[in-house]
A = this chain, B = another copy of it.
Amino acid sequence: MSATVELLICVKCRKGTEPPADERRPGQRLFDEIAACEIPEGVTVSAVECLQNCDAGCTVAMRGDGRWTYVYGGIDEDSQAGMLLGGTALYRAAPDGLIPWRSRPEHFKRNCVARIPPPTPSPSQHKGGSE
């Protein structure tokens, strides 16, 4: 299994708070927690700017070739780094990115913000212009 999937962490997340300027934001803390863990094989963790899901707490996205992209919110920066990395490994193990329901982390079941299909052409398409 050689595919690489990417876990994107919004490091700008403030979780609705106004942390002092010298304090790490919750999103940055989540990223730092994860960076301190052992990253599963084939997983790349990236710090990103705002994912614009600011009302739902720490937010991450997962993506990979041929897979649905998933956005999850409500991540607890102090306790869920391991769950996230384990979930990302399961995501990588699923060729289309759809983790079987039974093995899907409970947090993923209840905190999916949105998902976006892989770029497979759909049979129902309407195109504009003549290009």
Contacts and interface: CB of A to CB of B under 8 A. Distances in A.
Contacts of A11: 124
A79 interface: no
A128 to B, nearest CB: 3
* Range of interface residues on A (Cβ < 8 Å): 35 or more
Interface string A24-50: 000000010011001111111111111
B116 A44 contact: no
Interface string A46-74: 11111111000001010100000101000
Contacts of A80: none
Contacts of A115: 50-52
A100 interface: no
Given A8-B117, A51-B114, A51-B116, A128 B59 contact: no
A116 B4 contact: no
Nearest to A50: B115
A39 B127 CA distance: 6
